[in-house]
Structure 1
Amino acid sequence: MKKRFISMAVSVAILLIIYSKIDIQSLLGVFQNSHPLWMVISLGMVIPITLVTSWRLQQLMPKDTHLEFIEANRLILGASVLNMVLPSKMGDIVKAYFMRERGHLSGSLSLSLVIFEKSCDMLSLLLWCAFGLFLYSQKDSLFWIMTLAVAGGLILGLLLLGSRSFARLFFVNGIKIAPSKIKKKLVSLQDSWEEMHSYFWSDKQQLLTISLTSIVIWFLHLLQIWLFVLALRAWLPFWVNFALSPLAILAGLLPLTFAGVGTRDGALLYFYSVQPDVPYLGEATAAALGLLCTSRYFLPAIIGLPFLGQMMGAAKKVRNP
């Protein structure tokens, strides 16, 4: 709870700094002059994104089990709510426990499934980011560092998923040098990772389906952000959005703020308005884009509120095993 309070305080502090430099009337004017149709379409993208993500969850399940499409949607939306209130994306871990409680999977396999799901998400985001950064022309020294970091993260992730021997070597060395608190988590993660390897590499067709679906899901996520730009009556090339919006999303994943609020907004303001020689967006428009990007997390959480009660029992067991 203390860490959550600190993260919320950091988010508020960053937002206060950002909005102290922006004319609030200009920000309100950006929303007042926004394109109604594109705004509805862009915000409505949460629906196909959620549906495709739920379908992917169905495909992740072992062939001798069955998860209804409606149930998969409930799990995805319920996890979205818990991710807003629990630290470190614990909503997805609760989702794994909930699937075990409902008898869909064993406990270790459900955790392995969620780890693979989140790994595919991260690798897909890094893949699109690397693609966009490769095409992005306005790279200064900071962008070259970020390009190398993204490419390195993508290669490391592919090796961890693709090579069991490399993954074992990575975890063994990581456990040796990690602090005691993190060491226990790494030991548990190593067991789940090895089970994940055994499960998913036994069915190459399933592995290909999940991988391609994850790439499509993150294409839809980045498309939604580009549509936000159109809704604000602004413009930037589609491929530029592939470079800049993933960097802002990655900034929001840093464990500093509440649900990425503040760090993501600051990154969007910098990448879209401050860093380019010719800004793609004005500062007020970039700030408005930050608010719309935050809505990408709040809207699924609001839709998932009716399913929260079903998952609270699993959440309590995760926090008090």
Structure 2
Amino acid sequence: MKRFISIAVSIIILSIIYSKIDLQGLADIFLNSDRFWMPVSLAMVIPITLFTAWRLQQLMPKSTYLGFAEANRLILAASVLNMVLPSKMGDIAKAYFMRERGHLSGSLSLSLVVFEKSCDLLSLLLWCVFGLLLYPQKDLLFWTMTLGVTIGLLVGLSILGSRKFADLFFRIIRKVAPNKIKEKVKKLQISWAQMHNYFWSDKRQLVKISATSIFIWFLHLLQIWFFILALNAWAPFMSSLALSPLAILAGLLPLTFAGVGTRDAALVIFYEPYFDATVAAGLGLLCTARYFLPAIGGLPFLGQYLTTIKTMKQSDISEY
């Protein structure tokens, strides 16, 4: 039911956006797109996927092994599952598969995925703060967003860096959370504690994974700027470095299907000083393609991982 509601919300938001733009103009923008930057920008999903797979390899304990090709297949297949299944089931399946192939405990494999996603979010927030601080057109709204994103980054870093702060954070969440998700928060707290012990025991590995995550998100944001160039539009790179993370964060709100709608609306609003809503709608379509292209690439491997999910026993699922 939640999936249908999110799809409905996405359709409503997109309907509002497209009712206010020139649809023929949007088609013309793509027909007249830059023949160099369009393929280059779309092809950026390849190095992004490769670096993400390499990072997944580095996350594995030294006593285990995950091949580079297998890591890529796992990333791509998880992209498909995350598009069609609720609650990021693709990442849960990825943790399960890492456990099966890497001979990890279920809690440790989930810890690795939790740490991977935490690095992604914190890296996105870091680039967002960096861009907002350098963004030239500051007003009350942008100072408010800068403050909010900075607080989020500091809280995230504190949760990652301090075991005591993390325990306090999870205790507070468990007190205010509805009863039906308190148990999930408790399991996440246990996984987080194990992840904290695992990664802080090797600070060199921690720095390598963190630096790789920051670089991966630089590639994500660079790709969005390339999209702007592909549409024959313009926004300064430093300004895009501030605005595109905000749009991505809007897409992470659990309101719409894969962020479609909220992300598009954010792009229209944030990029208004640089180009009109029609171009921004085109940028929204390309940003959505960032998620669909890896999912399409993962379709050939989907059967293998669907089999993996089907063979997951109820005891296996409860472990996550």
TM range (shorter): over 0.9
Q: 2:154 matched to which residue of 1?
A: 155
Cα separation, 1, equivalents of 2:230 and 2:146: 29
Tell me how many residue pairs correspond in the alignment: 315
Q: Distance in 1 between matches of 2:172 and 2:57?
A: 34
CA–CA distance in 1 between the matches of 2:266 and 2:152? 19
Measured at CA, do residues 318 and 86 of structure 1 come closer, stay the same or move farther in structure 2, by a change above 3 Å? farther
Aligned partners of 1:263 and 1:201: how far apart in 2?
A: 36
User: Structure 1: how far apart are the matches of 2:313 and 2:265?
Assistant: 33
Q: Does 1:95 align with 2:94?
A: yes
Asked if the contact 1:42–1:231 (Cα under 8 Å) also holds between the matched residues in 2, the reply is yes
CA offsets 1:266-302 (integer angstroms, 9 cap, x no match): 10011012xxxxx211221111000000000000000
Residue matched to 1:116: 115
Q: 2:275 aligns with which of 271, 281, 304?
A: 281
Distance 1:173 1:108 in 2: 22
1:276 matched residue in structure 2: none
Give the 3-state SS of the residue equivalent to 1:218 in structure 2.
Answer: helix
Q: Which amino acid aligns with 2:92?
A: I
Q: Which amino acid aligns with 1:282?
A: D
Of the structure 1 ranges 218-227 and 82-91, higher mean CA displacement relative to structure 2 is found in 82-91
Structure 1 residue aligned with 2:301: 307
Q: Which residue of 1 aligns with 2:137?
A: 138
With normalisation by structure 1, the TM-score equals 0.95
Conserved 8 A contact 1:94-1:318: no
Alignment TM-score, normalising by the size of structure 2: 0.96
Contact kept in structure 1, 2:158 and 2:165, CA below 8 Å: yes
Q: For residue 213 of structure 1, what is the aligned residue in structure 2? A: 212
1:168 and 1:88 map into 2 onto residues whose CA distance is: 23
Write out the 4+ residue segments of structure 1 that deviate beyond 3 Å after TM superposition.
Answer: 313-321
Q: Distance in 1 between matches of 2:142 and 2:86?
A: 29
Structure 2 CA distance for aligned equivalents of residues 240 and 265 of structure 1: 17
Q: Which residue of 2 aligns with 1:252?
A: 251
Deviation per residue, 1:1-24 (Å, 9 max, x gap):
x11011111111111110000010
For 1:224, the equivalent position in structure 2 comes to 223
User: Deviations 1:3-49 (Å, cap 9, x if unpaired)?
Assistant: 10111111111111100000101101111111011100000000000
For 1:58 and 1:281, locate their aligned partners in 2 and report how far apart those are by CA, in whole Å: 40
1:26 maps to 2:25 = yes
- 1:97/1:318 contact within 8 Å kept: no
| Map of 1:59 onto structure 2 | 58
How far off its partner does 1:123 sit? 0.2
Stretches of structure 2 that go unaligned for 5 or more consecutive residues are none
Letter in 1 for 2:192: W
Q: Distance in 1 between matches of 2:62 and 2:100?
A: 19
**Distance apart, 1:103 and its partner CA:** 4.0
* 3-state SS in 2 of match to 1:301: helix
| Deviating more after overlay: 264-273 vs 98-107 | 98-107
User: What is the aligned partner in structure 2 of residue 271 from structure 1?
Assistant: 270
1:104 is displaced (CA, Å) by: 3.8
Aligned-partner Cα distance in 2 for 1:108–1:146: 35
Q: Find the residue that maps to 1:36 and give its secondary structure.
A: coil
What's the CA shift for 1:180?
A: 0.8
CA RMSD of aligned residues (A): 1.3
2-structure distance, mates of 1:133, 1:88: 30
Q: Deviations over 1:100-124 (max 9, x none)?
A: 1334421110000000000000000
Q: Which residue of 1 aligns with 2:104?
A: 105
81-90 or 111-120, which deviates more: 81-90
Letter in 2 for 1:150: V
Amino acid in the other structure paired with 2:110: L
Query: Which runs of 5 or more residues in structure 1 are unaligned?
Result: 274-278
- CA deviation map 1:194-239 (0-9, x unaligned): 0001100000111010000000000000000000001111111111
Identity of aligned residues (%): 71
Deviation at 1:137, TM superposition (A): 2.2
Q: Which amino acid letter does the alignment assign opposite residue 192 of structure 1?
A: S
